[in-house]
Amino acid sequence: MVTVTEYLRNHLYKKLNYYPKPKNNIKILHWNDKCDLIIKLMQNRLEFGKYRTVGLDAKLQKEYNNGCYIKFILNKLQKYLNSGNAEFLIDVMNGALLEILYGEHKNKHFNPDNEERIIRYEE
């Protein structure tokens, strides 16, 4: 079955007379040792996160502890953009993970294929 996204993409390609070149190295999309390293870095920073969060300013500390991770993510992303230090990207990924697991957005859901099926997070 073709998803709505795939159908629209193919329709636009035909209308634009555009035929994308196939990717030469599909292997980069597969799990590899670099992925394992990133997961380990994320795990290490999560485990020691309770010690690091002491350095956050008071407002961000309150938001981080109350389950609002979006401002934390944006703060770390801005630090990455300013410095280029990939350590902040690990923090962004961890913030996204925590938002998915514990975030309190009132309309939080997961809808990966733009279809009618929506998975609500219920505990």
pLDDT tens-digit map of 51-91: 666 555 556 565 566 667 888 899 999 999 999 999 999 99
Q: Assess if residue 86 is contained within a domain.
A: yes
Domains identified in the chain, total number: 1
Q: Which residues 6+ apart lie within 8 Å of 120 measured at CB?
A: 108, 109
- DSSP labels for 27-89? GGGS--HHHHHHHHHHHHHHHTHHHHGGGS-HHHHHHHHTT--HHHHHHHHHHHHHH--THHH
Residue 74: domain span: 31-120
Mean pLDDT of the chain: 76
Confidence at residue 36, expressed as pLDDT on a 0 to 100 scale:
86
Q: Assess if residue 19 is contained within a domain.
A: no
Q: Assess if residue 115 is contained within a domain.
A: yes
Confidence at residue 107, expressed as pLDDT on a 0 to 100 scale:
82
Q: Assess if residue 24 is contained within a domain.
A: no
Q: Assess if residue 104 is contained within a domain.
A: yes
Q: Assess if residue 69 is contained within a domain.
A: yes
Of 4-18, 19-33, 65-79, 89-103, the poorest mean pLDDT is in 19-33
Q: Assess if residue 68 is contained within a domain.
A: yes
Confidence at residue 122, expressed as pLDDT on a 0 to 100 scale:
53
Q: What is the mean pLDDT of residues 12-35?
A: 70
Report how far residue 101's alpha carbon sits from residue 29's, in angstroms, rounded to the nearest whole number: 25
Nearest Cα to 48, choosing from 82, 83, 94, 99?
Answer: 94
Q: Assess if residue 10 is contained within a domain.
A: no
Q: Is 17 left (phi over 0), alpha (psi -120 to 50) or beta?
A: left
